[in-house]
Structure 1
Amino acid sequence: MSGAAVAGAMTPGRTATGPAAGPWLLGVRHHGPGSARAVLAALRAARPAAVLIEGPPEADALVPLAADPRMHPPVALLAHAVDDPGRASFWPMAAFSPEWVAIRWALDHDVPVRFIDLPAAHSLALKEPAPEEPGEGPERAEHAQEEEVTPVVDPIRVLAETAGYDDPERWWEDVVEHRSPTGERDDGGMGPEGAAPDDAPGDALAPFVALAEAMSALREAYGDGGQPRDAVREAYMRIQLRTARKEFGDEVAVVCGAWHVPALAARTTLGADRALLKGLPKVRTDLTWVPWTHRRLARQSGYGAGIDSPGWYGHLFEAADRPIERWMTKVAGLLRGEDRFVSTAHVIEAVRLADTLAALRGRPLAGLGETTDAVRAVMCEGSDVPLALVRDRLIVGESLGEVPDTTPAVPLQRDLTRSQRTLRLKPEASERELDLDLRKETDAARSRLLHRLRLLDVGWGDPVAGRGSTGTFRESWRLSWEPELHVRVAEAGVWGTTVLTAATAKAASQAVAATALADVTALAEHCLLAGLPDALPVVMKALADRAALDADVGHLADALPALARSLRYGDVRSTDTAALTEVAAGLAERICVGLPPACTGLDPDGAETLRGQVEAVHGAIGLLDTGAEPGTGLRERWDAVLHKLAARDTVAGIIRGRATRLLLDEGRLPEDEAARLMGLALSPGAPPADAAAWIEGFVGGTSGGGMLLVHDERLLGLVDTWLTGVPADRFTGVLPLLRRTFSAYEPGVRRTLGELVRRGPAPEGARRDDAAPPTGGFGPGLDRARADAVEPVLRLLLGRPPEPAEAAV
């Protein structure tokens, strides 16, 4: 068949002639509303005795669930290996998928329906497990149907190019999607029929005959299209078709990918087909229905289901008439909900513009390209910002399907579903934030569930920084349910039948297998957050064992903050943390003993790492301080360590500077002493690189060091004097470190420091009210006028009556 013949066969309006007798091979494009309408028309006209559908035969027992009123597409058949749940495949179906339409028609008319593709037991065994890399895993588990149906040679693209189109989607819309239905809705309420009840089978089958001719030409030219496994699948489908014809006669309809139609129509022997299937590997499999999303049907989601705009296709399938007008009304409603002014006149003008663009471009009806251009020009005033919202919410869509409670599922999935219902945490496809108040019983239970799922690697929610209170009784989560999480739940089912028992078993197993002390302490924190009291004894024993054997101060410093947070959260969650307190106190004592020697003889990278650990330990000590008598508590021990670090010349400069700053911020170091230490660190005898490192530790980063220099003239003067005294040949060596230090300040802080340096220091002994220009901040003199101006505000805040002079003012 020539290219011109292919184009002619697929030209809109061409009536193909073909036999009206079965079996009827209905070649479709998966998730195509035009194909779905055509399938409905063909089934209604032909009234087959049985319907065969491309899909795993193990799912035959699940077909009756499609008629359940609680089943709402998009949904997907999920098949996974029993012994390796991560090896899984999906068969998604939307309301506009031809397979779903055929299933619903068959159930509504009491017609037997069967799946005839290669069993999942074989397809999963043939499929190599995907490597666990970023962006891979269950979300990359290919849909066996789509992955193997779509050849290296894209038939839709070839047909579009043959017909003179440069866009296969636009060609498909013109040829298939814009075929106007002539009948009414089916009594099952599944969308436009596409054929009147009295349509002749030959008329209803005409599109499929034309598509079969085109695919036959492509198969002659390209063979298997680069997918040799198709021969095995097609051999199995031919065997199943023979079996169905023996049982039901020739009155059988087959709904499959159009690419397979020529192979199913080919004359082969039963022995040849069985020879292709001989020796196929096999695994035990489980199948079920799971909810799916429109977003997962879109190519841009990373899951190649074959369509760019599932929301638009769903609209085309559901709109019985005037699809463009109804679409523009949807867009207007969405934009109005976002507080954009869109009037009825905008809708009318957008429809007219879309129709005009279709006429100018020679299209039978306005398609997605024309409607999008019209929306951008009329409703979005030429901006792509609101148009992005239309693409996300309508063109792609956020629909999440539902399956009935009677759907087979692993016990862990059933327990999770019950918990979600009890806690009123409905899975949603769209991303949303959830703020929890742990003082409330329901919110605390929600938090425990989400933490348990994280421990089981079921990433439904991710903790985020809260926008409100930072207290320990607040938690914020970002929730987004992806269909692939059903695979994660199936994988986690090996640990237990409920979320609690599974999380407990996995935590205990990880505690025994962990080799790093920090891993065990992090696990202990997870157990407290997740409310796993039965796992804590095992974790605590592992923690005590690792802590006793680990003499590396760096490892101890990495482990302590997690323990401190665990104690903090345990207090909020009313958890018994006595064992944790004892281990944490022991770790802190060992850190206090071993830290000073560990801070000497370090290279720059090692010093930077240890500086971060000193900061983390300082924060942890603040949480662990038990309030013992002054001089005997943990806080006093730690302060003594910081004084040692700040005073020793052998300690790396960045650590000495940070220790000085921590003591100053805590009020444990007089300002005069801090100035003395800075003067020593920045003395002419100190190497410039070491002095720059001290400055980085003292005022670097986002620790508020810039404001400290703004408000303390002495420290700023010391830094300025040292910096101007660095020799020219040494200045280039310290410049990168200084740039890193000061570039982290806020722009306003940098600007203020520049102004202070430009003015220069105040003369020695000058006061704020002297004629000399001030340097700003708190210098040697007191600015009494500014201090007096603050007093009335303080009295107002404290509720004290103003002085008589103030009242008079």
Structure 2
Amino acid sequence: MSSAVFLGVRHHSPACARLVGRAISALRPAYVLVEGPADMNGRLDELLLEHRLPVAVFSHYRDESRVATSWAPLCDYSPEWIALRDGRAAGAEVRFIDLPAWHPAFTRRAEGAANRYADAETRYEEAVRRLCARFSVDSVDALWDRLFEVTEPDDADGLQARLDTYFDLVRGDTEGDPGDRAREEYMASWVRAAQAHSGGRPVLVVTGGFHRPALRELSYRGGTGWPEVPEPPGGALGGSFLVPYSFRQLDAFAGYQSGMPSPGYYQRLWESGPEAAARELTRAVAERLRGRGIPVSTAALIAARGLARGLALLRGHPYETRVDVLDGLAGTLITDDLDHPLPWTTRGTLHAGTHPVVAEMVAACTGAVEGRLHPDTPVPPLVHDVTEQLARLGLADPDGPVVLDLTGPDGLTRSRVLHRLRVLGVPGFTRVSGPADGTDPVFTERWAPGPAAGREAALIEAGAYGARLDEAASVLLAERAHAAGTDAGPLAGLLFDAVLCGVGPLCAELLDTLAAQVGQVREPGPLGEVLTTALGLWRHDRVFGVARGPLLGSVVASAVERVLWLAEGLHGGEGGVDLGRLRALAAVRDALRYAPEVLPVTREAAAEVAARIARDPRAPVDLRGAACGLSRSLGGSDDPTGVVTSLALDTLGDWLAGLFVVAREEVTTGEGALVDVLDDIVGAMSEGDFLAGLPALRQAFAFFPPRERERVAERLLDRRGRRGSARALLRTTADPLLLARARALEENVALLLTRHGLRTTP
């Protein structure tokens, strides 16, 4: 059996990439085994086309219980890319040896499976922390540059020894989590098979350094047959495609878990070495700052270069590192106090409110390189479907804003295509205006074309949801509905998005799902928003073709039944007005008025439920008022007069707010209107009680529009036998509460003056 050489690397490290290239040149191995998805082995020719890097292998998986997506990015200085490219050029058999990205070994890890090449040492921070303290650096990135990236040239043996020591220390005696162990056992089986089939020639194994110690030990255990590539279980959907990537997506400061920030800087380091990379970084920062109107003098740049060189000497670096350059620039160009540590001294994304000079420095380190796939690269069917539809509908390259008439079939078709792209997150168009819901009397839409950068990658990734645009949008909406669960907050938006994308068999399945979920929502307020949206579409929508549809009717029916059930079970809670639950009862009222044929609840049964809530002393006061209004609006016989007169003054306003949200007209018109009872109660109040209750009363009557307030004022004038303008009565020169307090103050002053004999008669 041949020997295996294990190279532990840090993903996206120029130093490791050079080491891999030198090892292939020196060993001339029979096999080069690379950490990467084994299900891509049949497509390595596609991967090794002349793409403009960075690109990524995008993998997706979906079954009834689990959804997984993963990206495995490659750039010019990725050790994995050099292993594939140089290994193939040297005549070696090149293989990916890791489990497919959909495998539970990835998706069950604590940090998820968003990125295959997330560095494992971030999960074992204690060893890294001790190393940072030993070498007096702030972060793992500065430590890595200090030990490996910016070192003396022609030190391959010393670099290899330092890498082995570093990864042995990081791994220590840790066995790894279950996902790590499953992956390492699988990769080791490929190593054993390659050794057995190599004819005595070396086998080079290139993996993340965290896995190297375990693989070296496991490669001596077990059989030597080629392992099978796992297949997705029956009924599951999955696949992998190449997608263009960008330096912005690669950057750790933007949230990528690669562990190597500043890809633009490391690209320069890879191409030109540390001295040129330092000079180019300084120049790039100056250009960005000047382009943003931030003055940077030549003297300041000279000072920054001098400070960076001094820091490199002080820190024992043979050349200026990235952190030396950034610290030199920050020390020279920033004179303000900073709210946060400099981002290159920590890990993670930039903070909100980052100093503009710091933000531009980080952007200069990132670079603006966008990857591009070779024209012969296979893409999912969705890409071809969307390309054909955009061309056929005149949307491929519009000259200006796109204005659509939704009342015509052509405009509606184009609108649905654009909404499906919007739902899938495909860039290129932004909706400027259009109907906000099914009752909005707007029959045109306006879309603004925008930059299409990233469209190809977004479409390839959206291909995980289906081969056709309508299918992909519907599947994504269904996935969002499933993720929402019983959280009603997103459901109203999902419902309208489904309608905007067009009703069809797949959208019908989504509406069925929404109807089932509505029946499990736990809060009446958000559920009321869903009911309002669904009822509005069911009653009025002719533009999108869903009016009186049975599927929307099922959503309305489920929501009405659930709101009544939840409302009757609400007890206690803090005082005050919850507008969400009040509007939910108002939506129930509208559904019982306008859509009784689709509801499982009759008007009589709903009125009985409302009457029980109204009489329940444990129910929130505002809800009791709304329930009383619902009962009256449905023809219930309960007289609210007794309830009003029995309420404490501090709760009267809350009760009235609930009542007025649901039944303004019913309680302010006709003989014996409730407004007459309120007038008597308010008229009997003392000045102190009136002042205490006035804010809540004002809040309650704020639910009346101006015309209805005028009608109430007219009734009050009639009750007093006075003639005058009700509209003028509503006009005040100041806040009514201030006027009432001023009047009370004046009366108190008059009483005091009278008491002490100081009041004079005019």
**TM-score normalised to the size of structure 2?**
0.61
Q: For residues 479-509 of structure 1, what are the alpha-carbon distances to aligned partners after superposition, in whole Å with 9 as ceiling and x for unaligned?
A: 997999889846633xxx3121455689899
Q: For residue 548 of structure 2, what is the amino acid of its counterpart? A: A
Matched with 2:720 is none
Please say if residues 26 and 208 of structure 1, whose CA atoms lie closer than 8 Å, have aligned partners that are also in contact. Answer: no
User: Relative to structure 1, is the Cα distance of residues 294 and 329 closer, same or farther in structure 2, using a 3 angstrom cutoff?
Assistant: same
What letter is aligned with 2:295?
Answer: F
Matches within 5 A, 1:337-348: 337-348=291-302
Q: Could you tell me which residue of structure 1 aligns to residue 67 of structure 2? A: 86
Query: Residue 175 of structure 1 corresponds to which residue in structure 2?
Result: 147
Q: Which residue of 1 aligns with 2:614?
A: none
Separation in 2, partners of 1:34, 1:99: 12
1:134-145 equivalence runs, <5 A: 140-141=112-113, 143-144=115-116
Name the CA shift for 1:677/1:464 in 2 (closer, same or farther; >3 Å). Answer: farther
For 1:461 and 1:546, the matched residues in 2 are separated by: 30
Contact kept, 8 Å, 2:491 with 2:514, in 1: the verdict is yes
Rate the CA distance shift 1:694–1:219 in 2: closer, same or farther, 3 A: closer
1:214 aligned onto 2:165: yes
- Find the aligned partners of 2:511 and 2:59 in 1 and give their Cα distance: 39
CA contact (8 A) 1:80 1:86 kept: yes
Q: 1:330 to 1:229 in 2, by over 3 A?
A: same
Q: Which runs of 5+ in 2 are unaligned?
A: 339-353, 519-523, 596-629, 645-651, 718-731, 748-762
- Indicate the SS of the match to 1:27: strand
Shift in Å, 1:326: 1.1
Cα deviation, residue 386, structure 1: 0.6
**1:663 Cα deviation from its structure 2 partner:** 10
Quick one: distance in 2 between partners of 1:341 and 1:257? 43
Q: Distance in 2 between matches of 1:543 and 1:28?
A: 48
User: Contact 1:72/1:401 (CA < 8 Å) preserved in 2?
Assistant: yes
Residues 345-384 of structure 1 correspond to what in structure 2 (within 5 A)? 345-382=299-336, 384=354
**2:36 is paired with a residue of what secondary structure?**
coil
Q: Name the CA distance, whole Å, in 1 between partners of 2:135 and 2:73.
A: 30
* Residues 32 and 96 in structure 1, CA contact (< 8 A), matched pair in contact too: yes
Deviations 1:755-782 (A, max 9, x none): 7567659999xxxxxxxxxxxxxxxxxx
Q: Deviations over 1:522-557 (max 9, x none)?
A: 77633431123566788999999999xxxxx99996
Matched positions, count: 632
Backbone CA RMSD of aligned residues: 6.6
Alignment counterpart, residue 530 of structure 1, candidates 484, 501, 506: 501
Q: Aligned pair in 2 of structure 1 residues 466, 93: CA closer, same or farther (>3 Å)? A: same
User: Residue 309 and residue 124 in structure 1: after superposition, are their counterparts in 2 closer, same or farther (change >3 A)?
Assistant: same
Taking a change above 3 Å as real, the CA distance of residues 100 and 482 of structure 1, as seen in their structure-2 partners, is farther
Structure 1 segment 10-49 matched on structure 2, within 5 A: 25-43=6-24
Letter in 1 for 2:416: R
Cα-to-partner distance string for 1:550-584 (whole Å, 9 max, x where unaligned): xxx9999656531465379956xx43455359999
> Which of 308, 325, 337 does residue 279 from structure 2 map onto?
325
Counterparts of 2:474 and 2:581 in 1: how far apart (Å)?
34
Shift in Å, 1:87: 3.8
The 1-side partners of 2:464 and 2:426 are apart by 15
Taking the aligned partners of 2:481 and 2:311, their CA distance within structure 1 comes to: 65
Partners of 2:736 and 2:284 in 1: how far apart? 55
CA distance in 1, matches of 2:270, 2:447: 39
The CA distance in 2 between the partners of 1:147 and 1:233, in whole Å, is 19
Shift, 1:385, TM fit: 1.6
Q: What does residue 103 of structure 2 align with?
A: 124
1:44 is displaced (CA, Å) by 5.2
SS at match of 2:293: coil
| Whole-angstrom CA distance in 2 between matches of 1:487 and 1:215 | 38
Residue 224 of structure 1 and its aligned partner are, at CA, apart by 4.6
Shift of 1:403: 3.5
**Aligned with 1:287: secondary structure?**
strand
CA distance change for structure 1 residues 463 and 159 in 2, over 3 Å: closer, same or farther? same
CA-to-partner distance for each residue in 1:321-378, whole Å, 9 max, x for gaps? 5222211221222223333223444433322232233233333333333333333343
Q: Determine the structure 1 residue equivalent to 2:544.
A: 575
Deviations 1:738-793 (A, max 9, x none): xxxxxxxxxxx9997787567659999xxxxxxxxxxxxxxxxxxxxxxxxxxxxx
CA deviation profile, 1:29-49 (whole Å, cap 9, x unmatched) = 211122223334554566656
Is 1:58 matched up with 2:39?
yes
Structure 2 distance, partners of 1:515, 1:57, is 35
Identify the residue that residue 492 of structure 1 maps to in structure 2. Answer: 465
Query: Contact between 1:540 and 1:580, CA under 8 Å: does it hold in 2?
Result: no
Query: Residue in 2 aligned with 1:721?
Result: none
Which amino acid is the alignment partner of residue 59 of structure 2?
L
Give the aligned partner of residue 623 of structure 2: none
Structure 1 residue 395 displacement after superposition: 3.8
Percent pairwise identity? 23
Distance 2:168 2:109 in 1: 35
Structure 2: how far apart are the matches of 1:658 and 1:607? Answer: 9
Tell me, what secondary structure is at the counterpart of 1:274? coil
Q: Name the SS of the counterpart of 1:288 in structure 2.
A: strand
Show the 5 A alignment for 1:376-395: 376-382=330-336, 384-390=354-360, 393-395=363-365
Counterpart of 1:273? 222
Query: Corresponding residue for 2:206?
Result: 255
1:114 equivalent in structure 2? 94
Q: Distance in 1 between matches of 2:581 and 2:134?
A: 66
SS at match of 1:120: coil
User: Of the candidates 71, 79, 82, which is equivalent to residue 98 of structure 1?
Assistant: 79
Confirm or deny: 8 A CA contact 2:35 2:206 kept in the other structure: yes
The amino acid that maps onto 1:498 is: R
> CA shift at 1:246, angstroms?
1.9
Say which SS state the counterpart of residue 222 (structure 1) adopts: coil
Question: Mind listing any 5+ residue stretches in structure 1 that lack a counterpart?
Answer: 1-20, 182-202, 427-433, 548-552, 625-637, 719-748, 765-809
Once the two structures are overlaid, the 10-residue window that deviates more, 86-95 or 142-151, is: 142-151
Alpha carbons 1:76, 1:291 under 8 Å: kept:
no
Counterpart CA distance in 2 for 1:24 and 1:412 is: 42
Aligned to 1:232: 185
* Displacement after TM superposition at 1:465 (Å): 10
In structure 2, the CA distance between the partners of 1:693 and 1:150, relative to structure 1 (3 Å rule), is closer
In the TM superposition, residue 141 of structure 1 has moved relative to its aligned partner by 1.5
**Pairing 1:245–2:198 present:** yes
Q: Distance in 2 between matches of 1:42 and 1:545?
A: 60
Amino acid of the residue matched to residue 101 of structure 1?
I
How far did 1:172 drift? 1.8
Partner of 1:777: none
Q: Which amino acid aligns with 1:120?
A: P
In structure 2, the residue matched to 1:784 is none
Q: Any conservation in 2 of the 1:75–1:293 contact (CA below 8 Å)?
A: no
CA distance in structure 1 between the partners assigned to 2:445 and 2:379 by the alignment: 34
Deviations 1:36-76 (A, max 9, x none): 23334554566656543222332223322344344431423
Map residues 721-740 of structure 1 onto 2, 5 A cutoff.
Answer: none
The aligned amino acid for 2:682 is: L
Query: What corresponds to 1:287 in structure 2?
Result: 240
Which residue of the partner structure matches residue 612 of structure 1? Answer: 583
Cα distance 1:106–1:155, how it changes in 2: closer, same or farther (>3 A)? Answer: farther
Distance of aligned partners of 1:68 and 1:684 in 2 relative to their CA distance in 1, 3 Å threshold: farther
CA contact (8 A) 2:151 2:317 kept: no
Secondary structure at the aligned position of 2:98 is classed as coil
Q: 1:448 aligns with which of 395, 416, 421?
A: 416
Instruction: Please tell me whether the aligned partners of residues 10 and 119 of structure 2 are also in contact (alpha carbons under 8 angstroms).
Output: no
Give yes or no for contact 1:25–1:253 (8 Å, CA) kept in 2: yes
Deviations 1:640-672 (A, max 9, x none): 959999x9545875464477699999xx999xx
The letter for the 1-side match of 2:698 is I
- Indicate if the aligned counterparts of 1:76 and 1:289 stay in contact, CA closer than 8 A: yes
SS in 2 for 1:72: coil
Q: Deviations over 1:671-700 (max 9, x none)?
A: xx9997874563446998987644332238
Distance 1:437 1:623 in 2: 33
Secondary structure of the structure 1 residue equivalent to 2:318: coil
Give the 3 Å change call, closer, same or farther, for CA 545–348 of structure 1 in structure 2. Answer: closer
Structure 2 contact 4–205 (Cα < 8 Å) conserved: yes
